[in-house]
A and B are shown apart, each in its own frame.
Chain A
Amino acid sequence: METIKRNKNERVLFIRDLNISFKTAYGIVNAIRGVRLDLFKGETIAIVGESGSGKSVTVKTLMGILDSNGVIDSGQIIYTYKDENGDEQEIDLVKMNQKEIRYKLCGKHIAMVFQDPMTSLDPTMSIGKQIMEPMRQHYKYSKQEAKQKALKLLEEVGIDNPEKRFKQYPHELSGGMRQRVVIAIALACDPDILICDEPTTALDVTIQAKILELIKEIQNKKGISVIYITHDLGVVAKVADYVAVMYAGRIVEKGKINEVFYDPRHPYTWGLLSSMPDTDTNSRRLFAIAGSPPNLMERVNGDAFAPRNPYALNIDFKEEPPMYDVGGQHRVASWLADQRAPKVSLPVELQEKLEKMKKEASIYD
């Protein structure tokens, strides 16, 4: 595995202290609380978390498709790209309005693959037309040019007999094929950033593996940056270079994939890793994180995970932990990382699991 140098000149996306809230009939929901994230060229980031942790909201902001009751309270999203003349441009997405983002960037520079390929494709349009649409819109390609490129794209995403498929409609294709078409549409304008929002949750495991391999292959070929949103740690392990674990609208732990998986520091990450079913242990019981995610309608006092956290300290209920630097790229928002905190050792099962993982991994070194 080649490592991506996270070097400032290669930075594509730069998110600082992003706060987003939603106005609902029941009050204000603080969905995103101070997210800070960088994305570099050619890198794959995975954002992991439960539903409602704010991972989808974060990327929807990038696409300018935030729901109409959502408000960006503060923060910065700086996106760096090369314009038509090859000059480097920097823009702040927070300062643009949603329509502007959609017309200028969405589909052209930042593209997205959604969870369910049946609902993200237009059932009344042939797939060829749908692939041509972004190119005709953004680059004003002629029909002929667009068709040539669409056929090439279909071939690239592993659909054989593209001439025939070009004229077919989404309902004529299987789920895996449809997702390939969605990927082809996303790649139509050669974007810099590809956002995959649970791209394989609606698909079978056998097809999931193929789609993930396809995205990886395309990424290597074109050097684009990919943001994955998922709750499946197995998928994360397969694709990501860098992981951010989100809980209740905050990033609680982030770092290079090996740092987070082999040396997790936040109790929530411990829980996630332990509750991941293992195919080759004989334990008959799964570890489960007790309780359920907090309601963000109420103001969160202290660490949002504290009520579910068996290792919670007193201060966890009073004050929100800052981000601690625990070496390398690894950052964690937990009071346990503080110098004054008592030393807490990992749960025994997880320790064994990590030992085993390291042993398995050492074979490949």
Chain B
Amino acid sequence: MTNIRQPLLHVENLKQYFKVSRNYMTKAVDGISFDIYEGETYGLVGESGSGKSTTGRSLIRLYEPTDGKIIFDGHDISGKLNKEDEKFLRTNMQMIFQDPMACLNPRRKVSQIIAEGLKIHHICKDNDEINEKVTNILDKVGLSKEQGTRFPHQFSGGQRQRVGIARALVMNPKLVIADECISALDVSIQAQVVNMMKDLQDELGTTYLFIAHDLSMVKYISDRIGVMHLGHIVETGTTDEIFKNPIHPYTKSLLSAIPHPNPVVEKQRVALNYDKEKEGIDYNLGHQHQLSENHFVLATDDEFEKWMNK
């Protein structure tokens, strides 16, 4: 992935605060910046409560971002949207949700669910074109045309997630936000879905923002990874850089927590501990240090020096 191209999505200092009470504000996302280039997959990882899902939801404007700039393919989609930008955003950015049963309308047939976006945005001339597109996308995600006439409850978890993916991709979007889209599935099915998403990306050239807490799965699908903790991106880089040369102690602890399927090794290994308070790290004081073209770490100058010398 080269950097010369214009990013498809440029996020600058995005903030998303939620007002809990008169005196208390939750800073779910606190000033994050990143770029996503066309055709790549950007993985966003972190523990629950780190703000990764909030980031995804702010980008697609399910929330009103508190502050910051989001440029999506030349359109500024932060702040109040005008009609044209809104239409552009709604047709070109799509989301795949975590729980496929909860995000599909149980009273509609699968083909109707998939066709809904096409109908709302008047993308197709007539019903024949809609049917053709739906059949086409069903085939691409590995479902048959007959299965389109069934209801969501008649499918297994993996198949339902395929429907969710088909619904997102039928609009032919530029960017797909996949929010924990495989964590509700069985291991053997997870691999099927991840492989399918990769194949579709090769075929259609879609860009993915892949949000997950499972680092090992993210590794397979992502070109670049951003590690989030408490509303900040603490480290970002290519997949290799993050896995082979992690700098930030939080990234290290996250990597060490992945269990390896190797009994003798795994029984000896103890996961690294990360305690932000104990180490005296304040994310607000740090700034991004560049290690290589893509590799950035959030740190103060002192911390950066300390971590580099380790």
Seen from chain A, the residues whose Cβ lies within 8 Å of a Cβ on chain B are: 1, 50-51, 175, 204-210, 213, 231-238, 240, 257-258, 261-262, 271-273, 275-280, 284-290, 292-293, 357, 360-361, 363-365
Contact = CB atoms under 8 A, between A and B. Distances in A.
A285 B69 CA distance: 35
Interface string B41-57: 00000011000000000
Contact of A232 (B157, B187, B189, B215): B187
A232 B213 CA distance: 14
Given A279-B215, A279-B219, A285-B195, A205 B264 contact: no
B238 to A, nearest CB: 13
B90 interface: no
Contacts of B259: 208-209, 232, 234-235, 237-238
Interface string B177-203: 000000000111111101100100000
A62 B258 CA distance: 31
Given A232-B187, A234-B266, A289-B191, 11 more contacts: A205-B213, A205-B258, A233-B261, A262-B263, A276-B261, A278-B216, A286-B220, A288-B195, A289-B188, A292-B158, A365-B264
Nearest to B262: A357
Given A209-B271, A232-B187, A272-B187, A279 B263 contact: no
Contact of B192 (A50, A235, A279, A288): A288
A279 B243 contact: yes
A164 B274 CA distance: 25
B191 A206 contact: no
21 contacts: A206-B254, A206-B271, A206-B274, A207-B47, A209-B257, A232-B259, A262-B263, A272-B187, A272-B188, A279-B215, A279-B258, A280-B243, A286-B194, A286-B220, A287-B191, A288-B188, A288-B189, A289-B191, A357-B265, A361-B263, A364-B264
A360 B262 contact: yes
B188 A237 contact: no
Given A237-B262, A276-B261, A277-B219, A206 B47 contact: yes
A286 B191 contact: yes
Interface in B82-104: none
A258 to B, nearest CB: 6
B262 A205 contact: no
B288 interface: no
